[in-house]
Amino acid sequence: MDQQTLSLLVVGATFALYIGIAIWARAGSTSEFYVAGRGINPIANGMATAADWMSAASFISMAGLIAFLGFTGGAYLMGWTGGYVLMALLLAPYLRKFGKFTVPEFIGDRFYSKTARIIAVISLIVMSVTYVIGQMRGVGIAFSNILEVPLATGLIAGMTVVFIYAVLGGMKGITYTQIAQYVIMIFAYTVPAIFIAITLTGNPVPQLGLGSTLQGTDTYLLEALDQTMVDLGFHAYTEVGGMSMLNMFLLTLALMIGTAGLPHVIIRFFTVPRVRDARKSAGWALVFIGILYTTAPAVGAMAIWNLVNTVHPGEIGTEEGHLAHADRPAWMERWEQTGLLAFEDRNDDGVIQYYNDGNEEFAAFAEEEYGWEGSEIVTLDRDIMVLANPEIAGLPGWVIALVAAGGIAAALSTAAGLLLAIASAISHDLLKGVFMPRISEKRELMAGRIAMGVAILFAGYLGLNPPGFAAEVVALAFGLAAASLFPTLMMGIFMKKMNKEGAIAGMLVGLLTTLLYIFTYKGWFFFSGTAMLPDNPDGWLLGVNPTGFGAIGAVFNFVTAYIVMKLTKEPPKDIQDLVESVRVPRTEG
């Protein structure tokens, strides 16, 4: 059986499972559509939360960024993991105790203002649409590889599947589907990592294999990788490169507080019966998340090692040390058909040279010493690294098919959660909460499904022209959440004297300044990024990378809200009492 057929069978089986679950758990009421009837077991909810949160950026793109950025890519790892801890400790239990369906509903009631609720809806939609673009790109990449078609065709196929099971099932169907997706995702991520770790280091535990010696040598994997990357004109893998320490700090902080403010993940804690179940769910989710996130650094390092040694299988700088175009393996030919990998024989020697021609000093040396005229891998999308890794390593076909299914599961699980957040914001918060308070439950449910369908089409269209790689696009979304929703939620829970004027002003300033910065320096969604922008390029304000500006936007939000609060009247006493009741545990009796 050829690889394409095998991959289609495995992925097709998973799709049948997802759609079957959606039909079995079809939402029949608004409570089931928005919060799964608040009847989900904490362990099951923890697994669904992990799948909801670990998106295509986590499964497909994060290890790819770590592969090419090395130590610097750890900012994504630290930011996303640390942010979940913040959410679990500071937000989830209190918001569950408040007992509403959505984040904008909490903000509207807490700040006794429909205006605050509308601004929260706008913030949620802007953030969620930006986030779901990264998921659509991940779905498109996986499908285009399986079907051996252009990215656009793969994206349309992915949109169709998301539409069927997300629109049909609502939160109830999505929850049980995400449990299945988590199981598929974690097997797909860890099984090839174990095989590759054994092949390279002899250690079956990828986390330990990262710090082990290469098979048959006394040289540590990271030590050998450092030397190889330097030999090709790149910075040493374990050193900071491609981003300043300031931008690493800002990016990590933006991802942390952005994660804590993600409405589609916060909603998951509304699906359990009790407040203590929300805490249990958070703990279990962190365990399930940790399995993948502690494996990612090993996957990234081993992926770049396998890639470099595929292109340069012998001594660097000799014709024998390169791969002839005619002899390149099948995995390269398959990925070329997607448009995400491309070669160009610049010096007509029939072999492939891959090195950092952006390093002018090394490029001049390579041309003089070896006759190289530029890196001949002219397109190498970082988002393909995890999916291509088992193919590069020569693993069995069923492993390659499993990884493809896992990548699609990661993208679909988060896309479904985001689309539900968008749908609930429009149907529940805008229509029922503001414009049509007397709307029937049936019409509200239909409005939510229509909103979800429109969001899928819009995000799919923009996913064809994203402003960067999946992880970069997601980082922009997290920055928007960090600057708008997270500060407002924190002040709403822990500052009982924060009033509606302060919250509204803070959200507007945080959201608009961050959007303006992203528009100015990153371009909007019609800018097609092909690489991480270089560190401190001309024009960035004080050298701040747009992906990390959300941390500064959050500071603007906090400061603006505090100043406006001091200049305006306190919230009503019943609102202050409400905050106290949410924050302080009730005693027996």
pLDDT tens sequence across 464-494: 766 555 556 666 777 888 899 899 999 999 9
Read off the pLDDT band of 91 (50, 70, 90).
confident
Q: Is the pLDDT of residue 26 over 70?
A: no
Mean pLDDT of 488-514: 93
For residues 84 and 152, state if they share a domain.
Answer: yes
Residue 76 has pLDDT above 70, yes or no: yes
Residue 127's pLDDT band (cuts 50, 70, 90):
confident
> Is 133 found in the same domain as 9?
yes
Over 90: is that where the pLDDT of 15 sits?
Answer: no
Give the count of domains, the chain.
2
Same domain, 288 and 347: no
Query: String of b and e for 185-222 (b: at least 16 CB within 10 Å)?
Result: bbebbbbbbbbbbeebbebebbeebbebbbeeeeeebb
Q: Are 229 and 386 in contact (CB under 8 A)?
A: no
Is 147 a member of any domain?
Answer: yes
More confident residue, 567 or 19: 567
| 98 and 147, same domain (yes or no) | yes
Q: How many Cα neighbours within 13 Å face the side chain of 288?
A: 28
Q: Is residue 580 in a domain? A: no
Last residue of a domain, one of 430, 461, 482: 482
Q: Give the mean pLDDT of 254-270.
A: 80
Shared domain check, 350 and 223:
no
**Do both 90 and 173 map to the same domain?**
yes
**Claim to verify: residue 396 and residue 374 sit in the same structural domain:** no
395-412 residue pLDDT tens: 888 888 888 788 777 777
- Against a cut of 0.75, is the pTM above it? yes
For residue 197, what pLDDT band results from cuts at 50, 70 and 90?
Answer: very high
Q: Is residue 58 part of a domain?
A: yes
Kindly state the average pLDDT of the residues 515-521.
79
Q: Is 450 exposed, middle or buried (0-12, 13-18, 19+ CB in 10 A)?
A: middle
Pair (179, 218) in one structural domain: yes
Place of tokens 């449910």: 445
Which residues constitute the domain of residue 366? Answer: 341-380
The phi, psi pair for 341, rounded to 5°, reads -145, 130
In this prediction, residue 528 carries a pLDDT of: 38
Among residues 482, 512, 537, the one where a domain terminates is 482
Model confidence at 585, pLDDT cuts 50, 70, 90, reads low
Same-domain check for residues 347 and 210: no
Phi, psi (5° rounding) for residue 213? -85, 155
The answer to whether the beta carbons of residues 94 and 490 sit under 8 Å apart is no
Q: Per mean pLDDT, which range of 46-50, 80-84, 269-273, 454-458 is the poorest? A: 269-273
pLDDT of residue 111: 92
As a whole number of angstroms, the distance between CA 104 and CA 90 comes to 17
Instruction: Please tell me the distance from the alpha carbon of residue 202 to that of residue 205, in angstroms, as a whole number.
Output: 9
Distance CA 354, CA 342 (A): 12
Dist CA 140 CA 463 (whole Å): 8
| Amino acid (one-letter) located at 15 | F
Instruction: Kindly state whether residues 26 and 161 are assigned to the same domain.
Output: yes
Please check whether residue 545 lies inside any domain of the structure: no
**Of the candidates 533, 491, 552, which has an alpha carbon nearest to the alpha carbon of residue 250?**
552
DSSP 122-140: HHHHHHHHHHHHHHHHHHH
Dist. CA 26–CA 173, nearest whole Å: 6
Is residue 140 within 8 Å of residue 275, measured between CB atoms? no
**pLDDT confidence band for 589 (50 / 70 / 90):** very low
The count of residues in the chain is 589
pLDDT of 159 above 80: no
Q: What is the DSSP string of 260-328?
A: HT-HHHHGGGGSSSSHHHHHHHHHHHHHHHHHHHTTHHHHHHHHHHHHHHHHS-S-TTSGGGS-BGGG-
- Tell whether the model's pLDDT for residue 531 goes beyond 50: no
The tokens for 93 are 């239990």
* pLDDT band for position 530 (cuts 50, 70, 90): very low
CATH number of the domain at 260, please: 1.20.1730.10
Domain end among 462, 482, 502: 482
Q: Note the pLDDT of residue 507.
A: 94
Q: Is the pLDDT of residue 532 over 60?
A: no
pLDDT at 459 over 90: no
Given a cut of 50, is residue 527 above it in pLDDT?
no
On average, the pLDDT of the chain sits at 79
Look at residue 10 in the predicted model and tell me its pLDDT.
79
* 551 inside domain: no
Residues 356 and 394 in one domain: no
Is 247 among the domain residues?
yes
> What pLDDT was estimated at residue 321?
65
Q: How confident is the model at residue 443 (pLDDT cuts 50, 70, 90)?
A: confident
CA 332 to chain CA centroid, Å, is 26
Is residue 510 in some structural domain? no
Looking at the domain assignment, is residue 99 inside a domain? yes
Tokens of 26: 């079809």
**pLDDT tens, 201-243?**
999 999 999 999 998 889 999 999 999 888 888 888 888 776 7
Say yes or no: 252 and 356 in one domain.
no
Alpha-carbon distance 487 to 458, whole Å? 28
Residue 535 pLDDT: 41
3-state secondary structure of 351: strand
What pLDDT score was predicted for residue 166? Answer: 66
